[in-house]
Homo-oligomer: A and B are copies of this chain.
């Protein structure tokens, strides 16, 4: 299961709103959005240099085992889509392999 876009993520973590706020704050501290001049990428006219970096921390994809039609998840595992840019419509790809 993967984000099809390079400024977003699919990741597995806890379904807890405080944690999600912590992620946002933490990612902003590791790769601040501003000043825009911080990123060479923004010379292309885009302003999402930070989004590409944030997505590397959070990851592109998750590979999830399935047994008898159910996800082999631990007690608190949940899949999330992380959006770090927000400028256009995006898609997530779910590919199922096996019998």
Within 8 Å of chain B (Cβ to Cβ): is A11? yes
**CB pair A62 B62 closer than 8 Å:** no
Tell me whether chain A's interface is mostly helix, strand or loop, or mixed.
mixed
Contact A19 B40 (CB under 8 A): yes
Most buried by B among A6, A11, A17, A60: A6
The 3 closest A-B pairs by CB, nearest first: A4-B74, A18-B40, A65-B95
A interface residue numbers (CB < 8 A to B): 2-6, 11-14, 16-19, 21-23, 26, 30-31, 39-44, 49, 52-53, 55-63, 65, 67, 72-77, 90-91, 93, 95, 97-98
12 contacts across the A-B interface (CB closer than 8 A): A2-B63, A5-B74, A5-B77, A6-B76, A18-B41, A18-B43, A22-B49, A26-B31, A26-B53, A65-B93, A67-B95, A97-B98
